């Protein structure tokens, strides 16, 4: 370790651009990638993703929510979370099920709970 410190000091590399490079803490770059990244967007809108498969199997709203909470947060949704999404669906009857569940998925994966689980 001393060798590396001497070498980096000699080259003028005493400070990292981002001190959180090796930290378990969340950083802005990670948050922006999850929130706006093309990889996540592509997976959520894919015609053969888990959501489309569950909708083809005619799973209920509750079954799909449970599946996604287990996948994203490793737990079942609470009663308030379930009723909150049911109310959201009721208020947005003009939107497709795919759109509504994509919104739920964005909310799940952009949460601190998801980032700490994965």
What tens digit of pLDDT does each residue of 2-33 get?
Answer: 554 555 555 555 555 554 555 556 666 665 55
Question: Which of the four pLDDT bands, split at 50, 70 and 90, describes residue 81?
Answer: very high
Task: Please report the DSSP string for 43-81 in residue order.
Answer: HHH-TTSHHHHHHHTT--HHHHHHHHHHHHHSSPPPHHH
Tell me the whole-structure pTM to 2 decimals. 0.60
Residue 118 tokens read as 């994965």
Ramachandran quadrant class, 26 (left: phi over 0; alpha: psi -120 to 50; beta: rest): beta
**Which residues, other chains included, contact 39 with Cβ-Cβ below 8 Å and sequence gap of 6+?**
33
């Amino acid at each position: 370790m001393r060798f590396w410190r001497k070498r980096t000091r000699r080259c003028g590399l005493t400070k990292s651009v981002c001190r959180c490079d090796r930290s378990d803490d969340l950083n802005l770059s990670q948050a922006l990638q999850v929130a706006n990244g093309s990889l996540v967007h592509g997976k959520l809108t894919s015609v053969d993703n888990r959501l489309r498969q569950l909708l083809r199997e005619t799973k209920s709203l509750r079954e799909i929510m449970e599946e996604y909470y287990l996948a994203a947060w490793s737990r079942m949704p609470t009663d308030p979370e379930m009723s909150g999404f049911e109310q959201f669906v009721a208020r947005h009857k003009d939107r497709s099920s795919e759109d509504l569940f994509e919104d739920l998925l964005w909310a799940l994966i952009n949460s601190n709970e998801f980032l700490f689980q994965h």
